[in-house]
Structure 1
């Protein structure tokens, strides 16, 4: 899965560069042979700028359109399973106290930790693209909304605030799912530890050894966001600070 994601991420930009270079190389030879030097240099600069803009536009649009369904599929399936698991733990917790109840909870919780590790291994590229690029896209959309009004035509200006709102809506939906699972399991473990009878010392030690999942968002060993109750606030603070710094550093 990781190889597939990496090939997807780098495949279209590389293919676009090769195909565009293959198409423009004969044009450069013809232009250099028949155009005057000053016209050739101008043509070359415009062609390079046009080629770069086309590659960035096509590759970025293709990446976003291809990766967004993977984001929702990855988060939707896994976190729906996690929410169901939290509901299952609460159902088991409501049962009368018996020795096998803890064994059932402990085994299920271990399986949940395996699911989280597998999910993190196969989707860390998705997370990094979504949250890191989501931050930069939000900052760019906010910056354009604030400072580009005088230079953008009126019929095109609504695109920037609409993009800023859309990006934040997508991020908010995913953040709510992640935080709901993390906070729900943390509260459940706290409630479980308080419910173990004092006479069950061995069971009390085993319950105390259970720790929250500590969901993290990042790539490889770099944790971009540590999921918790204040994850959304921290994420929006990063966007706000970067937007203000961009407006102050690059006013138009």
Structure 2
């Protein structure tokens, strides 16, 4: 891992240029820029709030339920868009991969970093709304950058994994899209895990929903800080550190092992 960090530092100018180019391409010609990317979670928040509170009459009994959902959706969208963008990143930059010698990890890393910039702006805007309305202003907001950094490392590790796999096996991206949909609904975006129907009488179900889903502790921890104004549980933070390191290690190892033929397959 230290070797990859050293190489990225060596090619940091190229990495910075990739990030700048993707950001310019993403917001070129847009008057509102990143604000348009807040529209999607706001629409989803409205739709799912109506569905769960009006149509299905949700038993979750969460105060300011719409804001509760919004925080979860913003976290999920960063994770989802990072993976989907990274999956096709090597193919999108195929000409560069074939003609220039540089650390190939730079490409998916730049893609995930662009999503991080968007996510950071969105999270600041969401916090600016949620904190005063829900009354969750607290010193624990200082922990938020650490949680975001861990989520970034986790997404980057998986991004490296899916990017190199999709370069060799073109079914990876559509399979990933199919997997992310049920994963979205099984994540604690619309419900607090402790209040999930049956969780009280079946504690094992609560544990499965929380610990078997690697995104769940990230959503729960970030929501605890932004929405509840309290520190995340230590076991959640420990889990996040472990899963982020594991994802980075596996993603980097597999990428290194498979990158030799990238110039041929992309």
Of structures 1 and 2, the larger Rg is shown by 1
Given the two structures, how large is their TM-score scaled by the length of structure 2? 0.27
Structure showing greater relative contact order (alpha-carbon pairs closer than 8 Å, 6 or more residues apart): 2
Given the two structures, how large is their TM-score scaled by the length of structure 1? 0.28
